[in-house]
Amino acid sequence: MNPNDSELRVGSTGPVPAATPGLGERLPRLLLAYWPLGPLVRRVARTRASVHSKLLGAFLLIALLLIAMGAMSLRSIATVAHQSRLLDQARERVDATRQIEHALGLQMNFMRNALLLRDDATIESMFRENNRFQKTFDHLEATAPPEQRETIRRLRTAQDNVMATVARIAGLIREDKADEAMDLHLSEGYPLYREIATLVTRAVRAEEAGMGQLREGVQATYRRALLLTGGFAVASIFLALGLGFVISWSFILPVREAEGFLGQVAKGDFSASIDVPNRDEFGALARQMNQMSRELHQLYDDQRRAALQLRALNAELEDASRAKSNFLASMSHELRTPMNAILGFTEMIRDGLYGEVPPDIQEPVSDIHTCGKQLLGLINNVLDLSKIEAGHMELAPTEYVVEDVVNTVKLSLRALAAGKGLELVTTVAPDLPLCLGDGKRITQCLMNLAGNALKFTAEGRVEIRVEQEGEHLRFAVADTGIGIPADQCEYIFEEFRQADATVTRDFGGTGLGLAITKKLVELHGGRIRVESEPGKGSTFFFTIPVRVTQEAPA
Amino acid sequence: MKTILYVEDNEFNRKIVRQLLSRTSYRLIEATDGEAGVTTALESRPDLIIMDIQLPKLSGLEATRQLRTAPETADTPIIVITSFALAGDEQKARQAGAAAYLAKPYSPRELLGMIRELAPEA
């Protein structure tokens, strides 16, 4: 591990604290610090269930509580309804009992009237009240609670006795025995009436007492229902709040943890790891993030190592490149210095500096000079190609006149053409503008192509044409030579290639001229191509921008 | 009689110039490295200096620069002979203060023409 790495590790692995926590942040932190919420949150987090299940569970719990509350309320309502019904029945009975008392009073009244008036109509009305009692009693007996049945039965018995007595009194009145009737009324009728009145009072009191109890029962039920409902409501609210808090924080805490963790990873601290108690999706996420961090760390280390290696390699390459460059420069000098002497001495001999050259020596001296020039050309080609390959070939753009370039080539090759009996023709389009480019290199290109053309042509002519095509100059070198087979055309611009190995034997040359020409043309941002027909001749075309504006593309 | 200083480490090349100038009225003095070239130039005050670009001890370009700044030789024409033929060689030679530039291998005839142009024979 690089010692620099440790400097990167700042802070703990915990979550990054917020800059200024507000109340919304402080309150939950405070709650989480105390029992039971803190442990509960951890317990929920540790629960091996999916987030979906946890949320569903919480909602179900609250829903169950609400259902229970509803059931309790319904039960209370049913109880109250039942008690109200009982209360109504008791009230009806009280009414009925009072009716009986009232009817009895009315009957007594009619009886007194009958005793005084002694007419049949009054007596009849006395009996009519009797029928009404019967119905009321039936109703009373049907609804009375068991403890009241005895009283009612006694009432009925008393009433039956009253009816018998009333009948006897009525009979006595009809027989005109008023005194006896009065006696009977006083001795039996009245006491019976008193007894009934007492029974009625007792029954009414009993019913009223029962009603009082019922009313208290209703009140109690109502109070209980109120308490239960309130209690359930409060419990539901607290449960909902509590569950909401616990569940949401069991999710928020790992998310916060992850946020802090990712922040550290983003800062390049791969030593951090995320630790959450969750056994749900958040737990799985945390595991994945740790895995990711480890892999990133590995990648980061690998990449650093690779970068360091690359840097070292780059330095080595630069050294190598510099060495190559230096080698090229010194080779160039070392090879040219003896060439300078060879060519210099030969030229001075030819020029007669050492006296008249004997005729039989003239030719060998001339041959030495020619071969020396050829050797120099080969050395130049090899060095040029090496420079291009090493990326050290730089163009020196200056303004040049195309006509001068073509004339230079023509002058240089005129002797060669004449020697082979070939016609060397040049056609330069009139009104070509002043061009910008490396005139010497363009001359070299044209010289290579024209030199080749002369070399591979036995009879006929070699023509150099230059014309303008938009922003480009188009150079063409046409010959009537041996031509190039179609399948060889694409290879001839590669280094050390000539169309045929025998070509080298027959015509000489290193096969570097075309490769160098192609590279120089491309260095200028131009293109080169060839059209050829074996046996008829070849035409090489290359284009060069009229003005080479920038460092030519590689 | 004009004096010409040729600074060149290769004996054969010195011999060429020596023999080239033997039939002329020029007097040739020679130096074989850059430092000796500067010293000789300052002592002998030649009329023309021919300086090879690659020399032991002190490069031809640096020697040219030094001679340009010395008052004794500030106006002496210098022909720089290069062999690199790299782009910018001529420019470097001119910047160093060369009056002319000739790439190796040069033609003796051409060199003589250049000498006669820069320092005409008396």
- Reported ipTM: the value is 0.85
Count the residues in chain A.
554
Residue A304 has pLDDT above 50, yes or no: yes
Cβ <8 Å between A340 and B107: no
Portion of chain A with pLDDT greater than 90, in percent: 11
Cβ <8 Å between B105 and A376: yes
Residue B72 has pLDDT above 80, yes or no: yes
Residue A389 has pLDDT above 90, yes or no: no
Q: Which of A14-28, A225-239, A380-394, B21-35 bottoms out in mean pLDDT, i.e. has the lowest?
A: A14-28
Q: Which helix (H) or strand (E) holds A350?
A: helix A281-350
Query: Of residues A10 and A435, which shows the higher confidence score?
Result: A435
The residues on A that touch B, with CB distances below 8 Å, are 329-330, 332-333, 336-345, 347-348, 351, 353-354, 376, 380, 387, 392-396, 438
Cβ <8 Å between A340 and B54: no
Cβ <8 Å between A329 and B86: yes
Cβ <8 Å between B54 and A380: no
- The stretch B8-27 carries a mean pLDDT of 90
Residue A14 has pLDDT above 50, yes or no: no
Q: Which of A292-301, A436-445, B96-105 bottoms out in mean pLDDT, i.e. has the lowest?
A: B96-105
Residue A547 pLDDT level (bands cut at 50, 70, 90): confident
Q: Is this structure's pTM higher than 0.80?
A: no
State the pLDDT at residue B48: 93
Determine contact: B122 vs chain A, CB below 8 A.
no
Which range of A131-140, A149-158, A444-453 scores highest in mean pLDDT? It is A444-453
CB B44 within 8 A of CB B5: yes
Residue A141 has pLDDT above 80, yes or no: no
Residue A393 pLDDT level (bands cut at 50, 70, 90): confident
* DSSP for residue A486: G
State the pLDDT at residue A501: 52
Cβ <8 Å between A339 and B85: no
Residue A376 has pLDDT above 70, yes or no: yes
Q: Which of A52-61, A274-283, A348-357, A390-399 bottoms out in mean pLDDT, i.e. has the lowest?
A: A390-399
Q: Which of A102-111, A214-223, A351-360, A499-508 bottoms out in mean pLDDT, i.e. has the lowest?
A: A499-508
Residue A7 pLDDT level (bands cut at 50, 70, 90): very low
Q: What does the alpha-carbon distance between residue A122 and residue A127 come to, in Å, rounded to a whole number?
A: 9
Determine contact: B112 vs chain A, CB below 8 A.
no
Give the closest-approach CA distance of B98 to chain A in angstroms. 19
State the pLDDT at residue A498: 52
Portion of chain B with pLDDT greater than 70, in percent: 95
Radius of gyration (C-alpha) of chain A in whole angstroms: 66
- Spell out where chain B has E strands: 3-7, 27-31, 48-52, 78-82, 100-103
Q: Which of A476, A457, A495, A507 is nearest to A381 (CA)?
A: A495
State the pLDDT at residue B28: 92
Query: Of residues A118 and A264, which shows the higher confidence score?
Result: A264
Among A324, A325, A328, A333, which would you mutate to test the B interface (most chain B Cβ atoms within 10 Å of its Cβ)? A333
State the pLDDT at residue A305: 94
Q: What angle do helix axes A51-117 and A190-266 make, rounded to 10 degrees?
A: 170
State the pLDDT at residue A500: 53
- The stretch A153-169 carries a mean pLDDT of 83
- Within 10 A of A375 (CB to CB), how many other CB atoms are there? 14
